[in-house]
Amino acid sequence: MIRVAVVEDESSCQEQICGYLKRYGDENDIEFQTTVFVDGLDIVEDYNPVWDVIFLDIKMKHMDGMTAAAKIRTYDPGVVIIFVTTMAQYAIRGYEVDALDFVLKPVAYPQFAMKLTKAVGALKKKEEKYLLLPIEERRERVAANEVLFIEVRGHNLHVVTEKQTYVMRYSMQEMEKELAGCYFARCNHPYLVNLRNVTGVTKEEVLVGGYALPISRTKKKQFLSELSEYLSAGYR
């Protein structure tokens, strides 16, 4: 299922885009879950990074699409943004917020279907694992490959990236299940390390992103085996 947000203040355009999504889904055997917002402010307020694709009108009453997209990008680097506009020159600014493309009004189905095919292709190519991590009163979508390591402290997990440490009430066992297939390994009971970001291993420590994490004797053999397998597969 692909989760789509349609941010559009014209009811006729809302209905048209939702209808096109249903038609495209029926033709291509894809299920879309669609939610409509009538203004950029509505989606940005209490933004929840659960969308795969956002169709975003540029000219809206309270918050224009460009401003909304810039705010969305601070919390959600992975969502696919497609602008909906009457004038192509506005959409050129979409590069500033890493928009995938734009659709011109009045929206014709062949044009819409072409852009949506591009979006679906981008999602398939990315298929990167993201974590929804809490920060202040919000959640951010963080790519798993940006995580350096995860540490258990008491009943909390500390998810450490280069830019931020996220603290959440969650079990390490559940996190390991969530990250299955993403090349994380235990170097010690409290630490789950992203093999992608390991820069070295000494006799007693794993070096990752400027941190030196202790490696236990019981975990060392398995950790080195998983690291060797990861590197030999050429994933770096």
Q: Which residues pair with 54 in a beta bridge?
A: 5, 81
- Exposed, middle or buried by CB within 10 Å (0-12, 13-18, 19+), for 93? middle
Nearest Cα residue to 109 out of 222, 25, 16: 16
DSSP secondary structure code for residue 202 in this structure: -
Distance, CA of 209 to CA of 222 (rounded, Å) = 21
What structural domains does the chain harbor? Answer: 2-126 (3.40.50.2300), 130-232 (2.40.50.1020)
- Helix, strand, coil % in the chain, rounded to nearest 5: 40, 35, 30
217: three-class secondary structure by DSSP: helix
Walk along the chain (236 residues) and give the pLDDT tens digit of each residue.
899 999 999 999 999 999 999 999 999 999 999 999 999 999 999 888 889 999 999 888 898 889 999 999 988 888 999 999 887 776 667 777 888 899 999 999 999 999 999 999 888 766 678 899 998 888 888 989 899 999 999 889 999 999 899 999 999 999 999 998 888 999 999 999 999 899 999 999 999 989 999 999 999 999 999 998 877 655 54
Supply the pTM of this predicted model.
Answer: 0.61
Residue type, position 208, single letter: V
DSSP secondary structure code for residue 171 in this structure: -
The Cβ of residue 59 has, within 10 Å, a number of other Cβ atoms equal to 16
Residue 108: its pLDDT value, please?
A: 95
